[in-house]
Amino acid sequence: MPALFIDQNILKNNIEITKELAKDSQIIGVVKENGYGLGLCEYARLLVENGINILAVTDIDEAVALRKSGIHCDILMLTPLYQRAELECALANYIILCIASCEGGELAESIARELNTYARAHICIDTGFGRYGFPDNRLQDIIYTIHHMQHICVTGIYSHFYASACRKSQYTLEQFNRFTNLCDKLEEASIFTGFRHIAATCALLKYPETRLDAVRIGSAFLGRLPFPDQWGYKPAGMLEAAISDIHTLPAGHNIGYGHTYITRKKTTVAIVPAGYSHGLDVRRANPCPGIAHLPRHILHLLKNALFPEKLYGFHNRQAFPVLGRVGMNSVAVDITGANLSVGDVIRFPVNPIFVDSNIPRRYKL
Cα separation of the two ends of the chain: 21
Q: What is the CATH number of domain 3-222?
A: 3.20.20.10
The amino acid that residue 231 corresponds to is: W
The mean pLDDT of 189-207, rounded to a whole number, is 97
Distance in angstroms (rounded) separating the CA atoms of residues 80 and 132: 8
Please, are residues 172 and 159 in contact by the beta-carbon 8 Å criterion? no
CATH of 238-349 among 1.10.287.3510, 2.40.37.10, 1.10.10.10, 2.60.40.420: 2.40.37.10
Q: By C-alpha distance, which of 32, 26, 14 is closest to 237? A: 14
Which value, to the nearest 10 degrees, does the dihedral of the CA atoms of residues 269, 271, 274, 277 take?
Answer: 100
Cα–Cα distance measured from residue 188 to residue 184, given in angstroms and rounded to the nearest whole number: 6
Give the residue range(s) of CATH 2.40.37.10 domains in the chain. Answer: 238-349
> Which stretches does DSSP call E strand in the chain?
3-7, 26-30, 54-57, 74-77, 97-99, 119-126, 134-135, 152-158, 195-197, 214-217, 238-242, 245-249, 267-272, 312-315, 318-323, 331-334, 345-349, 361-364
pLDDT of residue 301: 56
Tell me: pLDDT of 283 over 80. Answer: no
Q: List the beta bridge partners of residue 110.
A: none
Q: State the chain's mean pLDDT as an integer.
A: 94
Q: Which long-range contacts (CB under 8 A, 24 or more apart) does 300-308 make?
A: none
What are 338-348's pLDDT values in tens digits?
Answer: 999 999 999 99
pLDDT in tens, 69-88: 999 999 999 999 999 999 99
What percent of the chain has a predicted confidence (pLDDT) above 70? 93
Q: What is the mean pLDDT of residues 28-39?
A: 97
Residues of the chain with CATH 3.20.20.10: 3-222
Long-range contacts formed by 52-57: CB under 8 A, 24+ apart: 52/15, 52/27, 52/28, 53/26, 54/26, 54/27, 54/28, 54/29, 54/214, 55/28, 55/29, 55/30, 55/31, 56/28, 56/29, 56/30, 56/31, 56/32, 56/216, 57/30, 57/31, 57/32
pLDDT of 170 > 80? The answer is yes
Distances (CA, A) of 267 to 69, 114, 250, 335: 49, 72, 6, 8
